[in-house]
Chain A
Amino acid sequence: MDIYREELMDHFKNPRNYKKLPTPTKSVHESNPLCGDMIDLEVLVENGVIKDIGFSGAGCAISIASASILTEKVKGMRVKDAKKITKMEVAQSVNPDLTISRVKCATLSLSALHKALV
């Protein structure tokens, strides 16, 4: 089992969209009480499209890397499409070998995104 593949570690060490937006249309805070991971996620939505997205926070490598991967994926996406992304898809895109306990880490950013797009 190798959940810390190089590509994933690159997202952890150089997270994409790790930033605050100057004019977000929505900001949310989400946390995982089990491990204390927390994420602040901001979106700029215009005409039903995610124009920009940024996150910040503290967490394990899996949660940071998955937030990086997810934000990269949804930037420019239509809100109604982004809402359809499932936990399974995110976990798969992060690493198909994630064990059940680590799937929670990988999907923290998705929970935040869904909250932000309500």
Chain B
Amino acid sequence: MFDVAKVKSDFPILSREINGKKLSYLDNAATSQKPQVVIDAINNFYKNHNANVHRGVHTLSEEATAMYEEAREKVARFINARHPEEIIFTKGTTEAVNLVAYSWGRKNIKKGDTIAVTEIEHHSNIIPWQILAKEKNANLKVLSIDEEGFVTGSLQGLKPKIVAVSHASNVLGTIQEIKDISREAHLEGALVFVDGAQAVPHMKVDVLSLDCDFYAFSGHKMLSPMGIGVLYVKKEILENMEPYQVGGGMIKEVFFDRATYADIPGRFEAGTPNVSGAVGLGAGIDYLNRIGMENISEHEVGLLNYSLAKLNLVPGLKTYGPTDVKRRTGLIAFTLEGIHPHDLASVLDTEGVAIRSGHHCTMPLHNKLKIPATARASFYLYNTKEDVDALLYGIEKAERILKR
């Protein structure tokens, strides 16, 4: 394991006070905090190496290009992709889903085809497919989930063209058995798109062993800057995909009546890319590697065990998600009888505890659970039992103020 106090001291923001109280940051599923090394990496890029990437022959441009491409290699190694060119930098997971739905989807989805999503998906892994289905007169099939959030709907006989599923849920924490889903999907002749935004920050992800065709995630949830994300696509699929956005940087030759496009991955990165973001992501990955993803998972399981045991003792409090903590990431969505999650979050804020409240961009899932909103505490490597204790104290305080 690792020294959590030492880790905590690497994150300047965590020493901040909020409303006169020590900050307990439990909103990591929304975005994570950044360690000094990531802040320094961005700073260093702009201070010493800033230039536009690719094609420039001057020193700074070559340095910036090397840093950008080194970040791509780090990402590829981190998720065990076979080739760095299978990694496309995007703004984030949302842009990655949109890219696939637009580029792969428009070419490959025809009238009457089936696109499969699941009940647990984040809005960003529903709407791009919904629009694609409407545009192409295709069917959007919604696979059902069980109480704990695991996909139970079968693909057998559905013959979908693509299956879009999240690796880990942003509300229930449920970690799907992607390997099984991939096997089943491939037997049906479908490709598999995985939204890994809530998985990559918290566990070791190996795209080869998952055998998915597309995998997307965001930098900002894994200690890295906002505005940088990743789309992994198997090389043989990516090579046959049309551009998503077009413009500079993604072409080979341009005439007024035609253009030829750059090879992968440049074909999918039109315009000046977010180089400092990529460099920051590289630094974030280095940091995570030093701690070890297995250690981070284990740390979160410890916090889950500790907090679930305590939360489940609070009268009127209901937690959601898998009972087996090994099959969920370090977050807990819950409701408290008679207290609206927004009020709870406001009271917790007065105690320096940051949690999220609402439907967390999963209205269909909340409809299924028959609740309008939940409160969600989400952990990361720098959280401690003291943070959980502050949460519990805040819950008691909310009950004192708000119980009717």
Q: Does A82 contact B (CB under 8 A)?
A: no
Q: Does B154 contact A (CB under 8 A)?
A: no
Q: Which residues of A contact B (CB under 8 A)?
A: 1-4, 9, 12-13, 34-37, 58-62, 102, 105
Give Cα distance in the complex from A88 to B343, angstroms: 20
Let me know if A35 and B402 touch, CB within 8 A. no
CB distance from A67 to the nearest CB of B (A): 13
Let me know if B342 and A4 touch, CB within 8 A. no
A9-B402, A35-B372, A36-B359 given as contacts; is B342 within 8 A of A1 (CB)? no
Let me know if B401 and A4 touch, CB within 8 A. yes
Let me know if A102 and B342 touch, CB within 8 A. yes
CB-nearest residue of chain A relative to B344?
A60
Q: Which residues of B contact A34 (CB under 8 A)?
A: 358
CB distance from A57 to the nearest CB of B (A): 11
Let me know if B372 and A1 touch, CB within 8 A. no
Which 9 pairs across A and B sit closest by C-beta, in order of nearness?
A36-B372, A60-B340, A60-B342, A61-B343, A60-B343, A36-B373, A13-B404, A4-B401, A35-B342
CB distance from B392 to the nearest CB of A (A): 19
Q: Which residues of A contact B19 (CB under 8 A)?
A: 1
CB distance from B333 to the nearest CB of A (A): 14
CB distance from B351 to the nearest CB of A (A): 11
Give Cα distance in the complex from A18 to B359, angstroms: 26
Q: Which residues of B contact A62 (CB under 8 A)?
A: 342-343, 346
CB distance from A44 to the nearest CB of B (A): 28
Q: Which residues of B contact A (CB under 8 A)?
A: 19, 340-343, 346-347, 349-350, 357-359, 366, 372-373, 401-402, 404
Q: Which residues of A contact B341 (CB under 8 A)?
A: 35, 60
Give Cα distance in the complex from A59 to B359, angstroms: 14
CB distance from A66 to the nearest CB of B (A): 13
CB-nearest residue of chain B relative to A104?
B342
Other-chain contact of A35, B350, B373, B401, B404 (Cβ < 8 Å): B373
Task: Write 11 A-B pairs (CB below 8 A) sorted by A numbering.
Answer: A2-B350, A3-B346, A9-B401, A12-B402, A35-B340, A35-B358, A36-B358, A36-B366, A36-B372, A59-B340, A60-B342
Give Cα distance in the complex from A47 to B237, angstroms: 70
CB distance from B40 to the nearest CB of A (A): 32
Q: Which residues of B contact A3 (CB under 8 A)?
A: 346
Give Cα distance in the complex from A100 to B373, angstroms: 19
Q: Which residues of A contact B357 (CB under 8 A)?
A: 35
Give Cα distance in the complex from A1 to B313, angstroms: 29
Q: Which residues of B contact A60 (CB under 8 A)?
A: 340-343
Q: Which residues of A contact B373 (CB under 8 A)?
A: 35-36
Give Cα distance in the complex from A35 to B373, angstroms: 6
Give Cα distance in the complex from A2 to B349, angstroms: 10
Let me know if A58 and B372 touch, CB within 8 A. yes
Q: Which residues of B contact A59 (CB under 8 A)?
A: 340
CB-nearest residue of chain A relative to B339?
A61
Give Cα distance in the complex from A1 to B348, angstroms: 12
Most buried by B among A1, A37, A58, A60: A60
